[in-house]
Amino acid sequence: MIDEIWLNFENLTELNFSDNNIQSLDAKSLFGFTELTFINLSSNQISIADKDIFSGLCNLTHLFLGYNRLHSLDCKIFNELKNLTHISVNNNQLEVINENTFKSLHRLKYLNISYNHIISIHENTFKGLTNIEAINLSNNKLTKIDRSLFRDLIRLKEIDLSKNKLDLDLNLFNDLTDLIYLNLEYNAITQISRNIFKSNRRLQQLRLGYNRIKQLDRNAFNGLYELKELHIDNNLLESISFDAFHSFMKLEIIYLNNNRLKSLNLKTFESCIKLKQIHLDQNQLISIDKDLFNGLTSLEQLNLSFNRITSLHGIIANLTHNSFIYTMKDRKIFTGLTKLKRIDLSNNRIKSINYNIFDGLKMLKDVDLSNNLLSTLNQNLFQNLPIRW
């Protein structure tokens, strides 16, 4: 219990009791602090909070209860906090969130209940939070989310569901037309259903890394015309449809590293004309089609390290037959990449490189060819290029 001496300061607007040893909050702990707009009770030992602890604090806008030992929250504990905009109950031991816990918080914009032990969440938990902009549910134990959980949250811009045990429901994000950021990393997602993000036309960053996705089909990302950054690294990807990325006309960064890709269709990045970074490291690529990066005039970084690439002679296509790789030595893989600054080709099986493979790359500064099988380098290989290697 907080010492009653503080009750003489009824005009306080901010109260910070973080990093103490407070173990409980009874009904009178904050009685009389009617002018408070900010309360920080994080990093204590609080395991019990009376349902009337925040009674009368109608001016409160920010409440921090993170890093405590709360196992539950009474469904009426926030009932009088009509002006609350930010609440953090992260890093506690919550297992269940009652469906009525947040029902009175109509002005709430930011909700953080990450790093708890929540197994399930009722479909009406966020009902009425029409002003909510960000919800963080990461690092819990969720295995399923009802498709109506985010219904009518038309102002929601950020969702973090990372580090749970979720697969995806086709209609889960249907109403979220203002969504900008979606984090689904470290879950149990096995596939991206067609048109699952079709309503999220303003989405700019999508994180799908560390899941179990094996393939990307046509229209997997249909409608994501504003997407700038895609993370689909550390999955089980073996194939990507040639038109899986057809909506990505504004994409700038793509992470496809740490997968099982052996080849890529020459049209894979055809629509991604604004790409600045491509991360394809730690796959099983043997060959690179000569036209794979064609038209990517904004590309600045290209990581192809830790693959099985044997040659940089401009491979005509992803052709393998009886273990022979067909090449044409007068074709160049990196033609037109005039803004390219860094190429990482380390830890491959490259035995030879055409002397003119880097011609025209006037912005090139870093080339990494370490840990390959090169025995000789043509003296003109890096002629007139401002590089260090």
Residue 315 has pLDDT above 70, yes or no: no
Residue 180 has pLDDT above 80, yes or no: yes
pTM metric for this prediction: 0.91
> In which band, very low, low, confident or very high, does the pLDDT at 382 lie, cut at 50, 70 and 90?
confident
* pLDDT tens per residue across span 106-130: 999 999 999 999 999 999 999 999 9
pLDDT at position 324 is: 32
* pLDDT tens per residue across span 290-305: 899 999 999 999 999 9
How far does Cα 229 stand from its chain's mean position? 9
111 is written with which tokens? 């909700």
* pLDDT tens per residue across span 137-146: 999 999 999 9
pLDDT at position 317 is: 34
* pLDDT tens per residue across span 316-346: 333 333 333 333 344 578 989 999 999 999 9
CA distance 309 to 325: 11
Residue 28, SS3?
coil
pLDDT at position 352 is: 86
CA distance 248 to 269: 9
Residue 286 has pLDDT above 60, yes or no: yes
Q: Name the nearest CA neighbour of 172 among 186, 255, 156.
A: 156
Q: Which residues fall within 8 angstroms of residue 323, CB to CB, at 6 or more apart? A: none
